[in-house]
């Protein structure tokens, strides 16, 4: 064999021997390290430079991939803020506004002290205004309810997110068991948060409504004796209730002062919650009984309001009960309407919505007995909206409610889980929506709550 051939053959044998020898070594001797070392500064710089060149040539998809390679692949690299900024700018040039906004916000959140963050902060408001506002067809009022414990989260970013989702009204709970979250001399102030929320929301062109119950104000001193009274069917006697007596003569001035201070916070509207309602066995305070006797001409005999058909049979109501509960409903409605009228004398632009239960539509007699609510009577008053807990369905309840109170006065309180059920187009034109989570109170209706 030729020398050159032998030499080549020898080299081949030598190579095979080395491979065999390596294969015989323990596995641990040939295992590569698990950690991949950080590329040199020059390598990352070359990736960023390639991304800049691609963006300059209009190759935005390539540039985006290169910038993401640094941003996502090398989280500890000092060049990552620059890569994030370049990624956001390229997404913006490619008209991917929502994605660009996400990257600008990421830069501000993760690198608040970096030089690139200054530009990102200036860009965020501009891009937020460019995002399309999506609102269901035919819906003029679209609100989101925020409980009092969540008021702190209503910062500029959250309010802008709500606005971009189509929301034009933020409904905020302003009262807790221990007091309220706005400046007032009529109740303990837990923290004055409402004014700041109103100012920030108005900058985003959002309305702010305050949600509060007229009958539930747990901070009121029991020594004032403003509590309502309820009839105990087991003992046949009266006992104090946990709610306020709307017919107590001293309560009028208190409510006017309380709600006037609430309006002074700059809110655009009030939602008077139906929780807790005036139940069938409530409303029997001394002032109420005295006014009833004066108006009707005879004292109310509590023992003649209910009939029983046996031990296991439900209670039924006598004709005297229906006369009593109709009177109670009208008197309570006049009190609330009078208080709101006094407040709107100082704040004429204030909107007022009053909540009622779905049974005012589906079972008017039950609504009158259980809640002292009468939708046909309520519509005669100067409320801007009637709010009803319901569902986004094609059922007759919503349609009938819109016929009774006019569609542009009807507001549905629906659970946020119904946002994407595709039924919005079935709503009567002009019907408003407020997304409000289900209440925990067992006394509220099971229909829609």
Tens of pLDDT, residue by residue over 334-390, are 999 999 999 999 999 999 999 999 999 999 999 999 999 999 999 888 899 999 987
Q: Answer yes or no: pTM beyond 0.85.
A: no
What are 231-286's pLDDT values in tens digits? 987 888 899 999 999 999 999 999 999 999 999 999 999 999 998 999 999 999 99
CA-CA distance, 401 to 360, in Å (whole number)? Answer: 9
CA-CA distance, 31 to 16, in Å (whole number)? Answer: 20
- 231 in helix, strand or coil? strand
Phi, psi of 411, deg, nearest 5: -125, 130
User: What percent of the chain clears pLDDT 90, i.e. is strictly above it?
Assistant: 51
CA distances from 361 to 227, 356, 364, 442 (A): 30, 10, 6, 20
Q: Which of 289, 286, 279, 288 is nearest to 317 (CA)?
A: 279
402 versus 247: the higher-pLDDT residue is 247
Q: Are strands 169-173 and 207-213 parallel, antiparallel or unpaired?
A: parallel
| Structure token pair of residue 26 | 């323990």
Q: What is the pLDDT of residue 39?
A: 54
Tell me what the pLDDT averaged over the chain comes to: 83
Could you list the beta-strand ranges (E) of 262-342. 269-273, 306-307, 316-317
Phi, psi of 74, deg, nearest 5: -135, 75
CATH numbers and ranges of domains, the chain: 41-130 (1.25.40.10), 142-435 (3.20.20.80)
DSSP state of 367: H
- Could you tell me which residues are beta bridge partners of residue 435? 144, 414
CA distances from 374 to 231, 320, 325 (A): 22, 18, 10
Give how far the C-alpha of residue 113 lies from the chain's centroid of Cα atoms, to the nearest Å: 32
CA-CA distance, 53 to 337, in Å (whole number)? Answer: 68
| Structure token pair of residue 147 | 């409980």
* Cα R_g (the chain), whole angstroms: 34
Check: CB of residue 375 under 8 Å from CB of residue 289: no
| Structure token pair of residue 191 | 């923290």
Residue where the block lists tokens 């970096």: 114
Q: What is the pLDDT of residue 49?
A: 93
Q: Which of 173, 176, 169 is nearest to 211 (CA)?
A: 173
């Amino acid at each position: 064999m030729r020398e050159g051939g032998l030499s080549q053959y020898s080299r081949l044998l030598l190579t095979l021997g080395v491979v065999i020898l390596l294969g015989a070594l323990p596995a641990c001797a040939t295992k590569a390290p698990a950690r991949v070392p950080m590329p040199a500064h020059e390598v990352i710089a070359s990736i960023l430079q390639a991304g800049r060149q691609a963006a300059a040539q209009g190759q935005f998809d390539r540039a985006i991939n290169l910038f993401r390679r640094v941003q996502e692949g090398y989280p500890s690299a000092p060049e990552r803020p620059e890569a994030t900024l370049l990624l956001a700018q390229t997404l913006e040039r490619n008209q991917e506004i929502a994605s660009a906004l996400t990257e600008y916000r990421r830069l501000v959140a993760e690198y608040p002290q970096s030089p690139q963050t200054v530009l990102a902060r200036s860009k965020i408001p501009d891009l937020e205004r460019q995002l399309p506002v999506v609102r269901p067809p035919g819906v003029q009022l679209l609100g989101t309810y925020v409980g009092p414990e969540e008021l702190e989260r209503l910062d500029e970013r959250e309010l802008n997110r709500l606005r971009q989702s189509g929301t034009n009204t933020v409904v905020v709970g302003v009262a807790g068991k221990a007091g309220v979250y706005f400046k007032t001399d009529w109740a303990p102030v837990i923290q004055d948060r409402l004014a700041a929320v109103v100012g920030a929301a108005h900058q985003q062109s959002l309305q702010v409504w305050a949600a509060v119950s007229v009958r539930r104000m747990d901070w009121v001193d029991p020594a004032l004796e403003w509590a309502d009274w309820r009839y105990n069917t087991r003992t046949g006697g009266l006992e104090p209730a946990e709610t306020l007596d709307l017919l107590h003569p001293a309560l009028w001035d208190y409510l006017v002062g309380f709600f006037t201070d609430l309006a002074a916070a700059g809110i655009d509207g009030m939602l008077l919650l139906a929780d807790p309602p005036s139940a069938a066995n409530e409303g029997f305070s001394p002032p109420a009984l005295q006014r009833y006797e004066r108006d009707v001409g005879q004292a109310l005999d509590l023992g003649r309001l209910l009939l029983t058909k046996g031990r296991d049979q439900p209670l039924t109501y006598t004709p005297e009960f229906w006369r009593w509960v109709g009177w109670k409903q009208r008197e309570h409605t006049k009190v609330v309407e009078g208080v709101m009228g006094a407040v709107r004398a100082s704040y004429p632009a204030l909107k007022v919505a009053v909540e009622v239960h779905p049974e005012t539509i589906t079972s008017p007699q039950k609504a009158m007995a259980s809640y002292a609510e009468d939708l046909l009577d309520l519509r005669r008053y100067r409320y801007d909206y009637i709010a009803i807990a319901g569902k986004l369905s094609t059922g007759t309840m919503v349609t009938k409610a819109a016929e009774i109170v006019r569609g542009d006065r009807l507001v549905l309180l629906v659970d946020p889980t119904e946002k994407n059920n595709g039924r919005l187009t079935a709503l009567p034109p002009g019907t408003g929506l407020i997304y409000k989570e289900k209440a925990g109170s067992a006394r509220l209706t099971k229909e829609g709550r």
